Amino acid sequence: MTEPVGPEVAAALREFARQPEVLVALDFDGCLAPFVLDPADARPLPEAADALRSLAALPGVHLALVSGRPVAELHRLAGPPAGTVLVGSHGAEHGEVDQAGALHLTPVTLTDDQADLLARVSSAVEQLADTHPGVWIEHKPAAAVVHTRALPEDQAEPVLAAAMAGPGAWPGVHPIHGNQVVELAVVDATKGESLQALRAPLVGVPALYAGDDVTDETALAVLGSGDVGVKVGTAPSVAGYRVADEAAVAALLARLAMWRASRHLA
């Protein structure tokens, strides 16, 4: 049986685990939670959820989930442990889970022009979905998202291309082409900027970031010496390390929690 965490990843992880403080920032879909046809059914693997709880309980661990999902939805689906910082809508929303498990949300505030633009974008992509059965539209606080996961690839790509060439090309719209989705946002935010904001008060604290999507590349690209960037899957990446799938991420997190706990006991 293949070891889910290869020797190079394990060596980097062990060194990371030795540090006095660490930031562990993770994507949700395709990283903690396997992809499913209906995104409302996504949940983290039980092994990943257990590892997150173990990490959150250890001294010196700062935990964050960084996702394209809205923060409230991310909180509901991920069930993150107390103290977890949640970054949603690729950085347009922020929240934190308190000791009782409740979410404290910092919502998106749109200008009148942004709100009007979002309404027009939403209308345009809804019309696109009406002419392509199987396409569905997700409405976020600052974006409309075209999902094509239910379509064969040869049918999905023209839909995504039409969204990019249509409302995605309008002034003030910030398109993000992800894994079988196109997100059309009216607020310019990236996971990379969000990771840098998370790190700002943690001077000198190394970060581990893991994600599978093209949108995670902006976060992986801002990592430096002492950090650990992990790409999930086989897609091209700037990450220094790679694991195969969500089960491997769960194994990686469990190992990190074990080594952190051993360090604390020592």
pLDDT at residue 38, as a whole number: 81
Which residues face 230 on adjacent strands?
210, 241
What are the residue ranges of CATH 3.40.50.1000 in the chain? Answer: 7-108+189-265
Q: How confident is the model at residue 149 (pLDDT cuts 50, 70, 90)?
A: confident
Q: In 3D, which of 34, 33, 47 has the Cα closest to residue 257?
A: 47
pLDDT at residue 55, as a whole number: 97
Q: How confident is the model at residue 1 (pLDDT cuts 50, 70, 90)?
A: very low
Whether the pLDDT of residue 120 is over 70: the answer is yes
pLDDT digits (tens, 9 = 90+) for 73-100: 999 999 999 999 999 998 989 999 999 9
Q: In 3D, which of 112, 116, 108, 110 has the Cα closest to residue 92?
A: 108
Q: In 3D, which of 141, 231, 139 has the Cα closest to residue 179?
A: 231
- The pTM of this model reads 0.90
> Mean per-residue pLDDT for 151-176?
94
The answer to whether residues 256 and 13 touch, using CB atoms and an 8 Å cutoff, is yes
The domain 112-185 is placed in CATH, from the list 3.90.1660.10, 3.30.70.1020, 3.50.40.10, 3.40.190.10, at: 3.30.70.1020
CATH fold for domain 7-108+189-265: Rossmann fold (3.40.50)
What are the residue ranges of CATH 3.30.70.1020 in the chain? Answer: 112-185
Whether the pLDDT of residue 27 is over 70: the answer is yes
Percent of all residues in the chain with a pLDDT value above 90, rounded to a whole number: 84
